[in-house]
Amino acid sequence: MFVSLPPPPVQNVVRESAQRPGDIVRLAPGKILCAGEPVTPVHLETPFTTSVLRNREAATQAAPYALRFAIDADGRAVDIQVDPHPFPGFYIDTDDLAPALAASRFAAGMPRQTCSIAYTAEFVPITDAPLALLYETASAPVPGIATREIYERLNADGDCARGPGSPRRLNYPNFETIAQAPGTRSWSFLRFDVDAAGHTRNVHVVGASGSAALDVASVRALRGNLYAPGKALHGCTFHFYRLGNQPIAAPSIPADAPKDSGALPACAIDPKTVRPLYTGEAYPRPFAARRIEGYAIIGFDTAPWGAVGNVRVLAAEPAATFGSAASRVISSGSVAESDVGHRGCVIRVQFRLPQATPAE
């Protein structure tokens, strides 16, 4: 079974009390240990920054967020599991921790077990944060629940807080021509003015991740935008981002992994009862944001009346999240009624993303 990805849903951000100050949150990695010994990664991908609204009387730092994992022969982090964490008293979006680790790389040919890493939440008040950090957070896939506070500061010296008028022509960079390593993301944050005729003026990059190609393409795209005529505006902002050119494929399923038993009538789940697996709604979106694929092998039993029960994750890579996503949907499935049920059914669920066009 293959799980693709549907268009992203419109997200409604639930805001806390406006009286709570806003903070940028960075998740800083600690040492990586495997069997008690320190390990240095070839590349450790940084989790996306986010923002929170919180009570400053609460603790300024939450307890570290711990992850357990292994390193395979290719130098990939696999079997990633996020340890339970106490609620710090306010919401922090930590969904990118496991995907960022899955996008990291270690030395090939040196597989390791029982590895761990802990991330510490570091808070920077939005009112005091460097502009570079505000640009980075505003360009993140999920900037957090203090997004309005971020833009209030970024637009403080302009009169374009609500954005330009209705667009007449919008342009985007030719993303397919911009190289980007799998699992990573680059971004460009820009400022521009709009004249009374709706033409963009003074387009320039004010914050960026370091991709010169994306910066140049972003400026070129914005210069071609056209908006409804009206009052001339100063200090408008916009950002573009580029995801990795190709998805990171799921680790190979071991040869001795349990086989799919869907050919058995008593184990053949009715597709209509597990629709999210076919529409892609079950795809773990934090991994989709980094274009990371995975798989899950789910075991289950069936009853004569068609119910599915005793659902369990037999394997999931590169992170336990894929197993959790698949098992939740399988639990609501059903099979055709029969004289007897079946124990030990197995279904393999593969989460796959569309292939991107390679950069020229």
| Cα 245 to Cα 82: distance, rounded to the nearest angstrom | 27
Tens-digit pLDDT profile for residues 70-129: 999 999 999 999 998 887 777 889 999 999 999 999 999 999 999 999 999 999 999 999
Question: 226: which strand partners?
Answer: 169, 199
| Cα 12 to Cα 5: distance, rounded to the nearest angstrom | 20
Which residue type does 340 have? V
pLDDT at 9: 45
Model pTM?
0.88
Transcribe 183-238 into DSSP letters. T-EEEEEEEEEE-TTSBEEEEEEEEESS-HHHHHHHHHHHHT-EE-S-S-EEEEEE
Calculate ∠ Cα 115-121-122, nearest 5°: 130
| Cα 208 to Cα 219: distance, rounded to the nearest angstrom | 12
pLDDT at 360: 39
pLDDT at 85: 85
Percent pLDDT > 70 in the chain is 91
For 198-201, which contacts have Cβ atoms below 8 Å and span 24 or more sequence positions? 198/164, 198/165, 198/168, 198/226, 198/227, 198/228, 198/229, 198/230, 199/226, 200/224, 200/225, 200/226, 200/227
167-243 matches 265-351 in fold: yes
Residue-range domain boundaries for the chain: 13-124, 167-243, 265-351
For 46, list phi and psi in degrees, rounded to 5: -85, 130
The domain 167-243: what is its CATH number?
3.30.2420.10
pLDDT at 70: 98
Omega within 30 of 0 (cis) for the link into 251? no
pLDDT at 15: 41
pLDDT at 143: 86
Tell me which residues of the chain have a pLDDT lower than 70.
1-20, 55-61, 356-360
User: Which stretches does DSSP call E strand in the chain?
Assistant: 2-3, 22-29, 33-34, 37-38, 50-53, 65-71, 77-82, 112-125, 167-169, 185-194, 200-208, 226-227, 233-243, 294-302, 308-317, 342-351
- Domain 265-351 fold is TolA/TonB C-terminal domain (3.30.2420)
